[in-house]
Amino acid sequence: MTSTLESQPAPAPAGAPAVREVRVAIIGSGFAGLGMAIALRNRGEQDFVVLERAGDVGGTWRDNAYPGAACDVQSNLYSFSFAPNPDWPRSYSEQPEIQAYLQGTADRYGVRAHCVFGAEVTAARWDHTDRRWHVTTTAGEFRARVLVSAAGALADPTYPDIPGLASFTGTVMHSARWDADHDLAGERVAVIGTGASAIQIVPAIQPQVAGLTVYQRTPPWIVPRTDRPVPPWKQRLYRLVPGLQKSVRGLLYLTRELLVVGMAKNRRFLRPVGRLARAHLHRQVRDPKLRAALTPDYTIGCKRILISNDYYPAVAAPNAELVTAGIAEVRPRSIVTQDGIERPTDTIVLATGFHVTDLPIAGRITGRDGRTLAEVWAEGMVSNRSTAVAGFPNLFLLVGPNVGVGHTSMVYMIESQLAYVDDALQTMTAEGLEVLETTPAAQQAYRELIARKSQGTVWLAGGCASWYLDRHGHNTTLWPDFTFRFRRLVRRFDRENYVGLRAEARTRQEVAA
């Protein structure tokens, strides 16, 4: 896609109504929200807003600004296909570079002017009488024909329910709400969690703190990080020959897609990856006792495979301690584990993840039957093609159920969804539809498809509990197959699985029919 539009929407005139009318309201300005906005502008659509609760675009990459924050997918793949960046400084980019890329892309494609910042969505309700979404935000009221939720899964942090945590008199901060003004130098720091954020934070802060305690519930599988600087000559070559960077992107995509063979088809193909991870651990951790504590007891790939060259050395450093006993309680200036040991603590870092299978935005979106999306999803997230939900007309979800991937770039999946949603919007225009809603039958068929594809995968049969699975043990987050098959599934809008309502038909009964 290439942006050719230069015009900007005119500012609201003086005395404009308190409720702003738009055709499309997009929630969130991360990769998904910006991608949707760019798709709309590229075909001439101007009547839309991007509702962003923060003061800038960026989503996950704006909020996760902790020390060491970086992507675990190569930059040439973790970026929009239509907006390649020849100036990536490293093969795996760090948070400031990705955030700058998103800011630059928003400016380049002219969508920043459509953003309403400081607009956290507190409620979105479908009104069948006027066939509009009534959206309440901290920046005012909006009425939209179509609502697109691009509030991703890594948006709202989870806080552990640890007895006494509220009584702690030191500093407590979540990895996604990092306090950059707090100086950790010389402090006794506790890091709770050993996921993707923790293995980046730990080596970044270990050299400056007096003592570092890592509280581990389950060890992750870690493989080497093949990161290196991109030399200036290669950056110039990418600018001169864009096709070369596109070819590199394609090769990275194919290489990563090979992991699906082991994860979703036959787990024996994961054995070489497991041997690589074990060799990495043995090479970097010499202490047999510590090595045993850092060795997972589940099949590699069951949880997200992490990449790091410096996590193991940081945990093995003289000022670091790995604790595997569960936390019993937090006291005002210490943490007590279940073995009775009390460790003095100045700062607690919660690297405890996000609300993934219980998206907070779902509790704020109310469909035509008066139920919220969270209520509909009480027994597990369901959808048609990960994008639409029965009972929620004119609502489309980006980065919704079963779009997640544990092996490749999320941006690939987002772009697949963008094409599907944009096709749906153009179908509404072409047919003169005011309302478009997927059918329960289509939703059930998709649910059964996901269940079939999930059977026998490493995520269900790998011997671990992960955030990939909901409280019922169902895979409601990951796409359990090759990503090119997801793209093929959503390459066109499946009009036959939707009920449409034109302007002249105005009764709820006709929608249900």
Residue 416 CB neighbours (<10 A): 22
- Whether 13 is covered by a domain: the verdict is no
> Distance between CA 451 and CA 455 in Å, rounded?
6
* Average pLDDT over every residue of 475-481: 95
Domain that holds residue 69: 19-156+355-512
Domain total of the chain: 2
| Tens digits of residue pLDDT in 397-427 | 999 999 999 899 999 999 999 999 999 999 9
- Whether 97 is covered by a domain: the verdict is yes
CATH number of the CATH domain containing 24: 3.50.50.60
Are 34 and 57 in contact by the 8 Å Cβ rule? The answer is: yes
DSSP state string for 385-432: TTTB-TT-TTEEESS-TT-B-SSS-HHHHHHHHHHHHHHHHHHHHHHT
Same domain, 361 and 506: yes
Residue 283 main-chain phi, psi, to 5 deg: -70, -35
**Does 185 score more than 90 pLDDT?**
yes
| Tens digits of residue pLDDT in 126-149 | 999 999 999 999 999 999 999 999
- Whether 316 is covered by a domain: the verdict is yes
- Whether 111 is covered by a domain: the verdict is yes
> Distance between CA 72 and CA 257 in Å, rounded?
15
Considering 286, 316, 350, which residue would you say is the last residue of a domain? 350
- How high is the pLDDT of residue 513? 46
Percent of the chain clearing pLDDT 90 (strictly above): 88
Same domain, 384 and 508: yes
- Whether 9 is covered by a domain: the verdict is no
- Whether 91 is covered by a domain: the verdict is yes
- Whether 6 is covered by a domain: the verdict is no
- Whether 10 is covered by a domain: the verdict is no
**Does 33 score more than 60 pLDDT?**
yes
Same domain, 249 and 385: no
Sign of CA dihedral 506, 508, 510, 512: positive
Considering 304, 331, 350, which residue would you say is the last residue of a domain? 350
Same domain, 287 and 201: yes
For 14, 21, 53, 147, the CA distances from 17, given in Å and listed in that order, are 9, 9, 22, 20
Percent of the chain clearing pLDDT 70 (strictly above): 94
Same domain, 171 and 209: yes
Same domain, 193 and 336: yes
Number of Cα atoms under 13 Å in the Cβ half of residue 461? 14
Same domain, 419 and 495: yes
What is the rounded end-to-end Cα distance, in angstroms, of the chain?
A: 38
Contacts of 502 (CB under 8 A, 6+ apart): 431, 432, 433, 434
Burial label, 311 (beta-carbon count in 10 A; 0-12, 13-18, 19+): buried
Are 206 and 212 in contact by the 8 Å Cβ rule? The answer is: yes
Same domain, 104 and 214: no
Task: Please give the model's pTM, rounded to 2 decimal places.
Answer: 0.92
Considering 319, 350, 381, which residue would you say is the last residue of a domain? 350
Q: Which residue's structure tokens are 């937090």?
A: 330
Number of alpha helices (DSSP H) and beta strands (DSSP E) in the chain? 16, 20
For 277, 323, 412, the CA distances from 311, given in Å and listed in that order, are 13, 15, 28
Contacts of 289 (CB under 8 A, 6+ apart): none
> Distance between CA 466 and CA 469 in Å, rounded?
6
Q: Which residue's structure tokens are 């581990």?
A: 216
> Distance between CA 340 and CA 323 in Å, rounded?
12
Same domain, 169 and 58: no
Same domain, 203 and 144: no
- How high is the pLDDT of residue 17? 54
Same domain, 461 and 431: yes
Query: 3-state DSSP call for residue 88?
Result: coil
Same domain, 195 and 331: yes
**Does 15 score more than 60 pLDDT?**
no
Residue 497 CB neighbours (<10 A): 17
